[in-house]
Amino acid sequence: MSKYTLSVFLFLLLIFVGRFIQEKAMKKLNQEQKASLVSLFSKDRLFQFGFIILALVIFYALHNVESIPSQPLFYGFVSTMIVAQLIFSWLAIQKLQKNHFPQEFIKSFVGVSVLRFISVVGILILITSL
């Protein structure tokens, strides 16, 4: 099995496990809490998407200008995305705590965030080492 195939397989496995944990945690919420999740994070998703698009535009603009060598530019972009993911996860956890969601649900959310982080970093490490 190639490193690329292994990295994609591990990435998908971790995403699947995270999704399973998330679904199990959702079953512990009542209908009102489930509904409030949508309204609680709808603006955040738009902001996060906008940030990712802006970062991609800047990355491609700098890449096309060729003012920064490709490898440092790529690592800078990846580092920015990793830091952004950590910040977005931290803000989401704060929002869940502020809105008095069950501690067990918040723990599951943290676990899924860690799995998501590990999967993204892991696939980047495996792919860049090819």
pLDDT tens digit sequence for 4-38: 677 778 878 888 898 899 899 888 888 999 888 88
Whether 10 and 90 have beta carbons less than 8 Å apart is answered as: no
Whether 7 and 127 have beta carbons less than 8 Å apart is answered as: yes
In the chain, the number of structural domains is 1
Residue 85: closest CA among 59, 61, 51, 53: 51
User: What mean pLDDT is predicted for residues 94-109?
Assistant: 93
In the block, residue with structure tokens 């860690």: 114
Amino acid, single-letter form, for residue 89: S
CA angle in degrees (0–180, nearest 5) for 31-34-37:
150
The overall average pLDDT reported for the chain is 85
**Model pLDDT for residues 108-117, shown as the tens digit of each residue:** 999 999 988 8
**46: its two tokens:** 């738009």
Whether 94 and 101 have beta carbons less than 8 Å apart is answered as: no
Distances (CA, A) of 45 to 35, 52, 127: 16, 11, 27
**Model pLDDT for residues 34-80, shown as the tens digit of each residue:** 888 888 888 888 888 899 899 889 888 888 887 778 788 888 888 88
The pTM is what? 0.77
Which of the four pLDDT bands, split at 50, 70 and 90, describes residue 98? very high
Taking the C-alpha atoms of residue 110 and residue 127, their distance in angstroms, rounded to an integer, is 26
**76: its two tokens:** 């800078």
Q: Is the pLDDT of residue 118 over 70?
A: yes
Residue 108: closest CA among 7, 32, 37: 37
Segments forming the whole domain that contains residue 111: 3-128
pLDDT at 130 (0 to 100)? 58
